Amino acid sequence: MGDITIHASDMHRLLADPTHTYSTPYQQAYAELAATHRGRPVAEIVPLLRTAADRALLGFTDADLAEQAQAISSGAPYQLRVRVTR
């Protein structure tokens, strides 16, 4: 399980929000990778997640991304604990 802290005004970077025109929220990028990269090597998935996180301006650690990539590769559920600040 991962953890991230995000300001309330930046939630559109993490989750899809119809009131914002943000390019690709991280949730969407993650879901797309999960649908297309199951069974692929973790080392192949991590850079794709890093690109998605960087585009969304989210500060996931390398360990977070490796954990997420492992979940995608194995098809296991992944839980992200989100702390929202104001």
In this predicted model, what pLDDT tens digit does every residue of 65-74 receive, in sequence order? 999 999 999 9
pLDDT score recorded for residue 50: 97
Q: What tokens were used for 74?
A: 């194995």
pLDDT score recorded for residue 35: 96
Identify the bridge partners of residue 82 per DSSP, sorted by sequence position: 4
Distance CA 39, CA 22 (A): 30
Amino acid identity for residue 11 in this structure: M
Distance CA 23, CA 77 (A): 25
pLDDT score recorded for residue 22: 61
Q: Is residue 14 within 8 Å of residue 80, measured between CB atoms?
A: no
- pLDDT (tens digit per residue) in 9-58: 888 889 877 776 667 799 999 999 999 999 999 999 999 999 999 999 99
Tell me if the pTM is above 0.85: yes
